Structure 1
Amino acid sequence: MIYRGWGILTLVTPIAAILLLAYLFPHNGPRGNIPLPQVLLGAGIGATVNVLLGLWLNRTPRQKGETAPHHFFFVPMQWAALVLLAVCVAVALLR
């Protein structure tokens, strides 16, 4: 599997935050399109929540070489979400 434990939340949390922002703050543009700043903000909020959740879920000490109990693509979920957060910030700054 590509995830273990609650690692699937690495994918689900940013998507849910994007959809929640699109529902709570609709825009006046064409239907079905979400502006890029709103997508970046939603993905950033979802990734931030996931980093904190991953740090909390993977807080138990492990032996050397033992995998994290909650991971996504064999990377602990907080680090995968931190990469997504960094990508959102980089795109926002370059835009």
Structure 2
Amino acid sequence: MIYRGWGIMTLVTPIAGILLLAYFFPHDGAKGNIPLQQVLLGGGIGAAVNVLLGLWLNRAPRQKGVAAAHHFFFVPMQWAALVLVVVCAVVAVMR
């Protein structure tokens, strides 16, 4: 499997962040379109929540060579989500 434990939340929380932002702060433009800034903010907030969730879930010490209890693509979920936060921040700064 590509995830173990709650590692699937690495995908779910950024998507939920985008959808919640789109629902509570609708855009006045064309129907069905969401501005890039809103997508980046929602994805970044959702991924930041996932970083904290991953740190909390994977806080138990483990022996060397033992995989994390909650991972996504064999990387602990907090580090995979941190990459998403950094990507959202870099794209936002470049725009």
Equivalence for 2:31: 31
1:15-26 superposed matches below 5 A: 15-26=15-26
Question: TM-score, normalized by length of structure 2?
Answer: 0.99
- Aligned pairs, number: 95
SS for the counterpart of 1:50 is: helix
- For structure 1, the 5+ residue unaligned runs are none
Letter in 1 for 2:78: Q
Report the CA distance between 1:67 and its aligned residue: 0.2
Question: TM-score, normalized by length of structure 1?
Answer: 0.99
Report the CA distance between 1:54 and its aligned residue: 0.1
Question: How far apart, CA to CA, are the structure 2 residues paired with 1:5 and 1:15?
Answer: 19
Report the CA distance between 1:11 and its aligned residue: 0.1
Equivalence for 2:46: 46
Moved over 4 A (4+): none
Question: How far apart, CA to CA, are the structure 1 residues paired with 2:89 and 2:59?
Answer: 26
Is 1:65 the counterpart of 2:65 in the alignment? yes
SS for the counterpart of 1:7 is: coil
Question: How far apart, CA to CA, are the structure 2 residues paired with 1:58 and 1:42?
Answer: 24
Report the CA distance between 1:42 and its aligned residue: 0.2
Letter in 2 for 1:33: N
Question: How far apart, CA to CA, are the structure 2 residues paired with 1:39 and 1:71?
Answer: 24
Equivalence for 2:3: 3
- For structure 2, the 5+ residue unaligned runs are none
Query: What fraction of aligned residue pairs are identical, expressed as a percent?
Result: 80
For 1:62-82, what per-residue CA distance to the aligned partner results, in whole angstroms no more than 9, with x for missing partners?
000000000000000000000
Letter in 2 for 1:66: V
